[in-house]
Structures are given as structure tokens and as C-alpha cells.
Amino acid sequence: MKKKRRHPLRRFFLIIFVFFLLFVGRYLYISKQRVDQINQWQSQVETLVKYYDIGEYRDIVLGIIFTESKGNHVDIMQSSESKYGKKDEINDTDESLESGIKFLSEAIHQSELLKTDVWTAVQAYNFGLNYITYVSERGGNHTIELAEEYSKNILAPALGNSTGEEYRYLTPRSVIHNGGRLYRDGGNFFYVDIVKWNVRLLNLLT
């Protein structure tokens, strides 16, 4: 009696599926470790967001911490540039949290004043506060298209990239959007998408 042979294509897809499950499992395992690391700061974050009158945006602050440092850096919110105008000036996590949350609160309050959505303020955490005025004059709602426009035409030239020089930035979202590119010195116009995704992970794995 002849042995029934498994169809090669079916075997190929089975192997792909197993590798996919392993990849997802590893990703969730690493993400859970990072979430646990970030949640160590949850109590301090809650105190500071209430103090700066942005208590309802606690999860966004935690999402920014996830995005900026995975909770594993002294300058946990990478707030040295917003406070001192250059990197690596903050050597204390408490200072990083207070500076970062204070800057985000300024962005959110300015965003409310100019009637833009909160995601404009979140993108301004990466781009700077002038982005809020830019969005306000163009409908009031952050979009990836507006962020890319601002990155290319305003921020990058202001920081020295007047030629539109790009560099590779490979994430699923960026590859779908433009083949995986950012403008040198132009910040990250995918920043809001990353923060949103990290907030979802925090809610899922906490």
C-alpha cells in the first residue's frame, strides 16, 4: 500500500505558520517584560499628570515612555532636548519624568487652545510645539500626511536638511506608507502611530 504524501505547499504553509506563532510569542513575551518595566513608574506618572492637569492622558504618557525608552533608560522620556536643547543632559529619571510630562502638558494645553486634537499634541512631543500651529491652520486634526509634510518642508530644513535627504526606517507601517523612509533631521512622522500601538500593548499586557 502506497504511503500518502503530504502536499509540499501545505507543508510549506505549516512551517510558515509555526514560525509566525514563534515570532508572535517572542514579541509578546518581550513586550510583556517592557510593559512590566514601564508600569513600575505608573504611580509617579499618575501623580505628575494630575499635578500638570492632564490626568486623563496617563495612558498616553505611559505610551510615550514605551516609545522613547521602553522604560529602560535614565532619561526615560528622552526629555533632555525639550528642556536643555541637546541630548544626554538628564541623568535622573525623576527629572526626565517631570520634564517630559510638563512639556506634554504644555503641548496639550496649547493644542486645546488652538482647537486641535490631542494627537497633534502627541506628535508635537516629537516635532516641537510649532507643529500645533501648523495643524491648527490646516483643519485642526493630525494626519500622517500633515506630519510628513511638516517633517519634510519645515522641520528637516530648519535643522539643516535642505535637500530632502532620507534614510531607511523599516516598520510595517512605514513600509506600507512610503516604502520605509524618514527625512533626516525631520523627526519621526510616524510617532503618533507608534504611541497608539504602544498604548494598546500596555492595555493588553498590563
Over residues 88-103, the pLDDT tens digits come to 889 999 999 999 999 9
- CA-based diameter of the chain, in Å? 80
48 falls in which pLDDT band (50, 70, 90)? Answer: very high
In terms of average pLDDT, the best of 3-12, 15-24, 67-76, 103-112 is 103-112
- What's the number of CA atoms in the CB half-sphere (13 Å) around residue 70? 6
Mean pLDDT score across all residues of the chain: 92
- What's the number of CA atoms in the CB half-sphere (13 Å) around residue 30? 10
DSSP state of 151: I
Average the pLDDT over 2-12 and give the result.
67
2 falls in which pLDDT band (50, 70, 90)? Answer: low
18 falls in which pLDDT band (50, 70, 90)? Answer: confident
Q: What confidence score (pLDDT) does residue 29 get? A: 80
Higher pLDDT, 4 or 142: 142
What does the angle CA 134 – CA 139 – CA 145 come to, to the nearest 5 degrees?
Answer: 70
166-205 pLDDT per residue, tens: 999 999 999 999 999 999 999 999 999 999 999 999 999 9
CATH number for the domain running over 11-205: 1.10.530.10
Q: From the CB of residue 198, how many other CB atoms can be counted at a distance below 10 Å?
A: 24
54-97 pLDDT per residue, tens: 999 999 999 999 999 998 889 999 999 888 888 888 999 999 99
Q: Where are the domains of the chain?
A: 11-205
Q: What confidence score (pLDDT) does residue 4 get? A: 53
Q: Please give the span between the terminal C-alpha atoms of the chain, in angstroms, as a whole number.
A: 55
CA–CA separation, 59 and 203 (whole Å): 8
Q: What confidence score (pLDDT) does residue 26 get? A: 85
Four-CA torsion 56, 59, 63, 64, nearest 10 degrees: 30
